[in-house]
Structure 1
Amino acid sequence: MTGLYLEDYTVGRIFETEPVKLDADEIIWFAEQYDPQVFHTDPVAAKDSAFGEHVASGFQTVAIATGQFIRTGAVDDTGMGGPGLDEIRWTAPVRPGDSLYTTVEVAEARATRSNPGRGIVTLAFVVTTGSDPVLTFKATIFVRARAGEKA
């Protein structure tokens, strides 16, 4: 798929992603590398933690949701990175065996003042394990604009 240009990102457009199922080994691997807290790395010790059970790192869920969006093809050949994430909220724990479903809505899309070939898009992510959200955040990305394409 060729990625979407700025002009294709209409406010309210929705992207539904393919679900990703997490298992305990993936949770432990990620946590050992990037978020080595006992409730992520040790299922037995996690029972005595604040969660009372083994849970995934919130940063792992952000990474998975980002990957799910990228795999839609929306930014293939047109994505130009992004300046950041905002309003990250982990609203419920993610457990081994959970499947993550991510919906992404275009919240804002505009041309940049300094570069006619680039636009700024704000995407609102909602990640669920079925019905209730476990993660919400906004991602701001840069994408190519058709206005900047050479004829």
Structure 2
Amino acid sequence: MPHADTHPAIRYWWEDFPVGSVREFGAATLTREAVIAFARDFDPQPFHLDDAAAEASLFGRLSASGWHTCALAMRMMCDAYLLESSSLGSPGVDHLRWLKPVFPGDTLRMRMEVLEARPMNSRPDVGLLRTRWEVINQGGDIVLTMEGWGMFRRRDPGVTPG
């Protein structure tokens, strides 16, 4: 069973994410070039690639793919805490909503709230976290929400959470 002293690069363990805790982080600005490049590779719908098509769409102008917004959210999570954590991945996302379009020039940040935390029944050295993420643009508008589970190694698997 791993312990904190055997993993000096790990700063964040399951125990470091108590229920109700909120973390805010990130700042990523989308460029027009990045929006088009992502769309070309992964979501080549015309309103993500072409100005004329975008103007004729519900968006009214070139917009980022929702999947691009998800990818940016993942990068911000990695930079803020995941790469320094005992993360073991995720069994999935339960809820994902794209609430507002994201446009080139928008700057996005994130807010994460821990909704639930419990040890994994089959692996007491692993803790589960259910979290809600909000991606917020420079105007304070929430553009994306996600809820899902993450798996993290526990610092002290023998202690029952209080």
TM-score, structure 2 as length reference:
0.85
1:117/1:3 Cα in 2 relative to 1: closer, same or farther (>3 Å)? same
Matched, 1:133 2:142: yes
CA distance in 1 between partners of 2:118 and 2:152 (Å):
10
Conservation of the 8 A alpha-carbon contact between 1:99 and 1:129: yes
Structure number with greater Rg is 2
Task: Tell me the equivalent position of 1:95.
Answer: 103
CA apart distance, 1:18: 2.1
Task: Tell me the equivalent position of 1:12.
Answer: 20
- Counterpart mapping for 1:2-151 below 5 A: 2-130=10-138, 131-148=140-157
CA apart distance, 1:74: 4.1
**One-letter amino acid of the counterpart of residue 38, structure 1:** P
**One-letter amino acid of the counterpart of residue 29, structure 1:** A
1:144/1:75 Cα in 2 relative to 1: closer, same or farther (>3 Å)? farther
**One-letter amino acid of the counterpart of residue 141, structure 2:** D
Q: Mind listing any 5+ residue stretches in structure 2 that lack a counterpart?
A: 1-8
CA distance in 2 between partners of 1:91 and 1:33 (Å):
23
Aligned length: 149
**RMSD of aligned C-alpha atoms?**
1.6
**One-letter amino acid of the counterpart of residue 62, structure 1:** C
Deviations 1:80-116 (A, max 9, x none): 0101112111111001100001111111111001101
State the SS of the aligned residue for 1:107. Answer: strand
TM-score, structure 1 as length reference:
0.91
CA distance in 2 between partners of 1:129 and 1:24 (Å):
16
Moved over 2 A (4+): 73-77
Deviations 1:124-148 (A, max 9, x none): 1011113121101113111001234
The percent of aligned pairs where both chains have the same amino acid is: 36
CA distance in 1 between partners of 2:59 and 2:84 (Å):
38
CA distance in 2 between partners of 1:9 and 1:98 (Å):
29
State the SS of the aligned residue for 2:117. Answer: strand
